[in-house]
A and B are shown apart, each in its own frame.
Chain A
């Protein structure tokens, strides 16, 4: 029902009520003035009855209105928009109808708005979830991430950043970076990139962490908003300490190797030139020069072989030729090879009698090289008049053969012992004692552990000597070879 109809109906209803009251008033008036008139006696009775009827009709109308309004109010209170009372055209019914309709419209709007609210709530939850997920991703990144706003206040910092700069990321948000991070250079860089508006800035930072200096590759980037204004800065710090160490080790290696290669090369070059220049004055001198050239060429070759072997073992490309061998025979041959070198330094080499069953399934050349490397190292780092002993032990229960070489040499400081098998590592204190590339023991470790599934070991005491050795599995019930 529209407003016009409702207004017309209500005016009509009001007219009827007013008429009732007029009739009632007139009937009372007539009754009052009746004694002063000549009207027949039934007229006031009729008028009175008419007035009473009008009063009753009006009262009934009011009662209906009030009752309908009461029911409407009850229904509205219960949240029921519909009313079944509006079957006539009374203002109450019309009002009820209109209220019902308004309520229906309102409920539709409420439902629509509730639906929209639910939708927004879902989207909000989704955004919250995505935010949490992104934060988790940032927190799990191993690189340190720090984000600041345009006022240099921390917006976000992940766990790695907490560890690097030692602060609590929970209390950090919204606080100025200079209060949270105690690293002047980093804080200044964050401020500098924001002010200079550079898109990116890359810098190497040194930060002390757990009493160790760590080097970080620090990349800073400006964050821009929709208006392309700088709204903050994000910094990512990647720990490159290990990479730097490896790089340094490689440089040291190249430097060592080039020195080691150049030494025999220098001899070859010098003696060849002497031959060319006729500086060898007799046949004996010529023979001596040629011998030197030959031995230095062999030395050069051994060095190159060592480097290549390590490289091949590491890359898994080495050709392994395993067979059943007697370890005692391999030790005996190695001792024979090293004897002249030991004699030059007046060093005694003790090799106990061979063990009866000491067969291993191994690559002969490789295991020979392991024993020779250990023996030559022992001679190299033992002073004149010292002694070296080789010990073989068989652990039948575990099926293992253990070879150890003990010397009375200079020994190794405790802090260096764990590193002696590292590639290119040389004990600083012993560098002056003998030359080396730092490759020999690494090759021993690679051959024993990678190729033969064994293990290497070392124990040492400065000034008293060292014991180097290895264990490899015994040949399991395979025939013993007669050649070694």
Chain B
């Protein structure tokens, strides 16, 4: 897994830290960002294999971040896992059109995040 890059985006620093520790402990290379603009910049530079983003963030929401990612060719295909406190915030149509790989509801479990990332990477590799 050492070659797999994950970008974690959340304005809640504690959430970013805990997800990063869990993923690093499991061999992933983790990048972190506090907001959508920063994430967009990092995604273009580092080309992560998966992006984990919070849904509700200041400056740029998770959905806006995904929309912007899809506009650039180098980030258009990066799978995104959305963390949300409102499970109903993203409807199926949005998920499909923005190619959101999975949604996890807060409060989530780091184990759950890890499992989700593995599935998404496995699915991408298979595709």
The interface of chain A, by Cβ under 8 A from chain B, is 255, 258-259, 262-263, 265-271, 273-274, 277, 279, 281, 285, 292, 296, 431-435
Contacts and interface: CB of A to CB of B under 8 A. Distances in A.
Nearest to B61: A432
Contacts of B11: 435
The 8 closest A-B pairs by CB, nearest first: A266-B107, A259-B85, A266-B106, A262-B85, A269-B107, A267-B14, A270-B18, A262-B106
B60 interface: yes
A265 B110 CA distance: 13
A435 B86 contact: no
Nearest to A278: B25
Contacts of A274: 18, 21-22, 110
Contacts of B109: 269-270, 273
The secondary-structure label for the interface of chain A is: helix
Nearest to B11: A435
Interface of B: 11-12, 14-15, 17-19, 21-22, 25, 56, 58-61, 85-86, 106-111
Contact of A273 (B17, B25, B110): B110
Contacts of B106: 259, 262-263, 265-266
A270 B107 contact: yes
Given A273-B110, A434-B58, 4 more contacts: A270-B18, A292-B14, A296-B14, A431-B58
A435 B35 CA distance: 12
A281 B22 CA distance: 11
A281 B86 CA distance: 32
Nearest to B35: A432
Contact of B22 (A255, A279, A292): A279
Given A432-B61, A435-B58, A265 B107 contact: yes
13 contacts: A258-B86, A263-B15, A265-B106, A266-B15, A266-B85, A266-B107, A270-B18, A270-B110, A271-B14, A271-B18, A277-B111, A279-B21, A433-B58
B86 A273 contact: no
B56 A258 contact: no
Nearest to B109: A273
Contacts of B56: 259, 435
Nearest to A291: B14
A434 B59 CA distance: 8
A274 B20 CA distance: 12
A118 B61 CA distance: 82
Contact of A270 (B15, B25, B86): B15
A292 B19 CA distance: 14
Given A274-B21, A279-B21, A267 B15 contact: yes
Contacts of A285: 21
Contacts of A277: 110-111
Contacts of B18: 267, 270-271, 274, 292
B108 A266 contact: yes
A270 B108 contact: yes
Contact of A279 (B25, B60, B85, B86): B25
A269 B15 CA distance: 10
Of listed A267, A270, A431, residue having the most chain B CB within 10 A: A270
B111 A273 contact: yes
Contact of A432 (B19, B58, B107): B58
B100 to A, nearest CB: 19
Contacts of B111: 273, 277
Given A265-B106, A274-B21, A277-B111, A258 B85 contact: yes
B59 A263 contact: no
A263 B60 CA distance: 18
Contacts of A266: 12, 15, 85, 106-108
